[in-house]
Structure 1
Amino acid sequence: MVRINFKQALLLAGSLLAGALLPAKAELNIFACEPEYAALAAEITGESANIFSATTAQQDPHFIQARPSLIAKMRRADLVICAGADLEIGWLPMLQMKSNNRQVQTTDKGLFYAADHVENLDIPVTVDRSMGDVHTLGNPHVHLDPVRVGKLATALTAKLIDLDAANRELYQQNLASFSQRWQQATVKWQQQAKPLAGMKVITYHASFRYLLDFLAMEKVADLEPKPGMPPSSSHLRQLLDIVDEQQVQLVLYTAYQDAKAAKWLAEKAGVVRMQLPYTVGGDQHAQDLFSLMDRQIAMLLSAKRN
């Protein structure tokens, strides 16, 4: 018979109690700059992470205030996921500085820039102030190309495993599931979108650059005379001629862009204008990455038919 004295009993009871009171392994806190990257992180982590999006589909990701609530969220973040290519240059550095979280200051630790992991379009050869608000690293709106999103999923999974090796198997399984479903959906979207090839459009800004490239549609001009500059009367009058000369069929803009210029041009030129969901949450139908692309293509096909 094994005898346990009173002192040993106390030590054993204390050990058991301590084990019961110890918290489970902490979930990763993920700070996503935009809803599309919160959605992508959710695909890979499942329910194993706390994910927060700093912006909504109704906000311009170029211009966000570094509010105290965002600073507090970043202070607790293990991983920050952003578009990069200077999209968040006006507010992300301020959050990083004020949060004083060393973990998310650099990409070798807990900072992930999507644009670093794919080929960016529209990288300028030279840049000067006369060109407007040009992104020197190329167009940052990479989430609207399904092919690039597939590559981003793989890169993000590698980053998650670096930060949380204990969940390696979970992340790899979720990536495999997502990749299979995403590849199948991409083939479907390519087939559905064939009637859109060659369709000419005018956009407010280069927000849909990657989507139009994926769909083989042609952007002939922007409502902005230069990136970051609001539409002017003289520029809109010039666009009237372009619509007629180029046989433009559609004017596109996002929920956070002023619809007045698009409405004026569409009415004067007799073409369709459309507020197209730009990211997850852009309307009631676009609630994840899959339904966002479904919704965009369905709306564009409807405009084509009309």
Structure 2
Amino acid sequence: MRINSKTLIAIGALFSSFLAGSANAQLNVFACEPEYAALSQELAPDAKVYSATSALQDPHQVQARPSLIAKMRQADLVVCAGADLEIGWLPMLQMKASNNKVRSTDNGLFYAAEHIETLDQLENVDRSMGDVHAKGNPHLHFDPSRLLQVADALSAKMTQLDPDSATSYQANLAAFSEKWQKAIPQWEEKAAGLKGKKVIAYHSSFRYLFNWLGMEQVADLEPKPGIPPSSSHLAKLVSRSQEGDVMAILFTSYQDDRGANWLGERTDLPVIMLPMSVGGNDDSKDLFSLYDSVISLLTEVQ
């Protein structure tokens, strides 16, 4: 069969169209935390997305395993919370992976915290203060408005790295934003009764959640951020709990439950494990169901 020049041009155009249409399938995303793996998948459903951690792991403490190094070596885009959450392990991964594409935020490195106003920023930090972050609280994914800002910035980063798929990224962002903005008032209506409620919790893991819903964390199970509960500290929390205004004791899916349970047994307060991220319990399979699950667990005991 003879193939004329017009046929070759048509075949070439079809092939180019195929490559452009499948471009974001080639985008390889390394997410530091599962919430950013989930967000990346919303914005680029055909991309290869890998999460370096699970909701059952403390994202402050991660080992630079060979498997993580290999995944980062293949990445076009690394998406992390930032605000120094990953300072203890991400630089080591970057060094060992030797992937220049993801060494700088000018290229394929993305920090969510750099695109919003973080809570609890500190001018000065020293070791005596425990595990605190001068750049602010990095657990920003429990603020729906801030997460939407991150989604917008992340979509722009994906477009920068993969301009051939710009239309696709814009459409995916629009679809996610529309669905997310519809969900926010529904969550707020369901959680209305939580406003003013007081809790005891670990660390400041749910700082953004409490700020959004108008809740207050009146005490920390840790004597200092990152320091395990001591007997003397827990005894003080028993006294605080006896004031009668605490709704519940909370801990996350990766935190040790022993201190929370010890306190719960001595105060008769409910002890609730909240999923810290996607996959933190059976109900939190994506960002939407994560919010659904957390709010449902809290409203059951309000």
- For normalisation by structure 2, the TM-score amounts to 0.92
- 1:42 is matched with 41
What's the counterpart of residue 299 of structure 2?
Answer: 301
Runs of 4+ off more than 2 Å: 22-26
1:196 corresponds to: 194
Q: Residues 157 and 230 of structure 1: is their aligned pair in 2 closer, same or farther, counting only changes over 3 Å?
A: same
Match of 1:178 among 176, 179, 183: 176
Aligned to 1:158: 156
In structure 1, stretches of 5+ residues that fail to align are none
Residue 246 of structure 1: how far off its partner (Å): 6.1
Counterpart of 1:220, as a letter, is V
Q: Distance in 1 between matches of 2:163 and 2:127?
A: 45
2:82 corresponds to: 84
Partner SS for 1:219: strand
- The answer for the alignment partner of 2:102 in structure 1 is 104
Contact 1:200 1:246 in 2 (8 A): no
What residue number does 1:28 align with?
27
Match of residue 71, structure 2, among 65, 70, 73: 73
Q: Distance in 2 between matches of 1:153 and 1:122?
A: 22
How many angstroms does 1:129 deviate by?
1.8
Provide the TM-score with structure 1 as the length reference. 0.91
Structure-1 separation of matches of 2:244 and 2:236: 12
Q: What secondary structure sits across from 2:48 in the alignment?
A: strand
Alignment of 1:134-149 (within 5 A): 134-149=132-147
Distance (Å, rounded) in 1 between the aligned partners of 2:185 and 2:238: 36
Q: How much has 1:125 moved relative to structure 2?
A: 3.2
2:219 aligns with one of 215, 218, 221: 221
The 3-state SS of whatever aligns with 2:243 is helix
Aligned-partner Cα distance in 1 for 2:255–2:136: 21
Q: Which residues of 2 match residues 108-119 of structure 1 at below 5 A?
A: 108-119=106-117
Using the aligned pairs only, state the percent identity.
Answer: 57
Match of 1:261 in 2: 259
| Letter of the 2:27 counterpart | L
Tell me by how many angstroms 1:41 deviates.
0.4
RMSD of the alignment, in Å? Answer: 2.0
Corresponding residue pairs, total: 291
What SS does the corresponding residue of 1:245 show, helix, strand or coil?
A: coil
SS in structure 2 of the partner of residue 160 of structure 1: helix
Paired with 2:245 and 2:123, the residues of 1 have a C-alpha distance of 30
By how many angstroms is 1:245 displaced? 2.7
Other structure's SS at 2:255 match: coil
